Chains A and B, each alone.
Chain A
Amino acid sequence: MSDIRQRKWIVLIGVLFAAAVVLTWAGCRGPEEPAPPAPPAEEPYKIGAIFAITGDASSLGIPEKNTAEMLTKSINEAGGINGHPLEVIIEDTEGDNTKCRTAAQKLLEQDKVLAVIGPSRTGTTMAIVDLFETKKVPLISCAAGVMIVEPVREWVFKTPQSDRMAVDRIIEYLKPQNITRVATISDTTGFGKGGLRELQDLLPKGGMKIVSSLEYDRDATDMTAQVTKIKGTNAQAVICWGTPPGPAIVVKNMRQLGVKIPFVGSHGIANQRFIEVAGSAANGVVFPAGRLIVWDQMPEDDPQRTVLKEYAQNYMEAYGKQADTFGGHAWDALQLVSRALEKAGADRAKMRDEIENTKDFVGTGGIFNFSPRDHNGLTKEAFVMVEIKDGKWTLLK
Chain B
Amino acid sequence: MHRFANPARFVRLARPLTAWFGWGGAVLTLIALTGGLLLTPPDYLQGDTVRIMYIHVPSAWLGMAGWAGIAAASFTQLVWRHPLAHVAARASAVPGAVYAAICLITGSIWGRPTWGTWWEWDGRLTSMLVLFFLYLAYIALAQAAGREEGGQRISAIFGLVGAINLPIIHFSVLWWRTLHQGESIGLSGSTIDNRILWPIPIALMGFSLIFLSVVLMRMRALLADAKVEARMKRLAST
Q: Do A and B come from one complex?
A: no
Q: Give me the interface of A with B, judged by CB distance under 8 Å.
A: none
